[in-house]
Structure 1
Amino acid sequence: MKQTLFALLALLVATLLSFNQKQATVRNQVQVVRGEMEQMALGVAAEAMGAIRTQDFDSNLNGTDDVSTEDLTPESEFPTGNRCEAFFSSPSTECDAIEEFHQMGPATVSFKFPDPDDFPDSSDRFEFEIKSVEVEYVDGNFSNETSGETFHKRVTLEIQDIPSDGGDPRLTSPIEYSEVVSYP
């Protein structure tokens, strides 16, 4: 009788160890997928930031060499809710200056996976949403928001994945990406 109980106990211990090992493997796979999604979200953010960075520093600047901070658009007058054509097809707003992206309407960016050139029959894709774009003036150290206009604007993007199956996003929170753009 004791041998049977010891055999059952050994079987239970082996089962628990195997179960714990499988749980660790699943957790590791979830972390790997989350890491890959973070990398794709950072790619979306870098691409979006590149589109924003190519615009004029300020809509009030007229291209003259003699520019002062009084010529810049006050932060309280930054437009909001634009559907900038860099991220929307139609209807869209032509955003010609960095501050025109401030609090832009959410935009969706899709990635085909695998590469459509390599696998033309695949329709799998990952979608990411640019949840928010914040533009603010910062000081010369590029770290603190200022109350007045400066020749430095910090652009902050929040990117979140959109699950194709309608479930929960793979990223537990949006990726935040920011850069400071300075007037030359």
Structure 2
Amino acid sequence: MLGNTHIVGGITASLAFAQISNENPLVLLGAGVVGALLPDICHGGSKIGRTFPISSKIVNKLFGHRSFTHSLLFLFLIAILMDAFVPFKSMTIGILLGMASHLILDMGTKKGVKLFFPIKIAVRFPLTIKTGGKVERVIFTLLCLLSLYFGYEILLDIVSVA
């Protein structure tokens, strides 16, 4: 999946979670975007890889693309680190939601992800799509519409409180 699709996936996941929780929706949203980009730190051409090129090269050299950073192990380690060092629960949840949305979206591609790293089995959905293709654009559009829906609901809640 392309970076923009991952960003909208993180936004959608964060806004959807905000519907059922008492967490700060704006913090969830911002953290969800960061989390949605984080797994691609292993790819120098990604949005986050271009932002942090040295880190990206190191991670890629150690693990390659779509392995460790696209695994449940990485998700678990980030959860532990965030819980230990970040005092804001909404931020931790948003990061994890964004990361989970990233993994789910990449499971829809032909390459899949090494979800159970260090086991080298690629996990992907039975039906896969081409990154950047027409179907991804449809998914992107649907995620945008869902984000608008969930965002509108939150906006109504904020306005009704004021």
- On whether the aligned pair clears a TM of 0.5, the verdict is no
- Structure with bigger strand share is 1
Please tell me whether Structure 1 or Structure 2 has the larger radius of gyration of its CA atoms. Answer: 1
TM-score if structure 2 supplies the norm length? 0.28
TM-score if structure 1 supplies the norm length? 0.26
- Structure with bigger helix share is 2
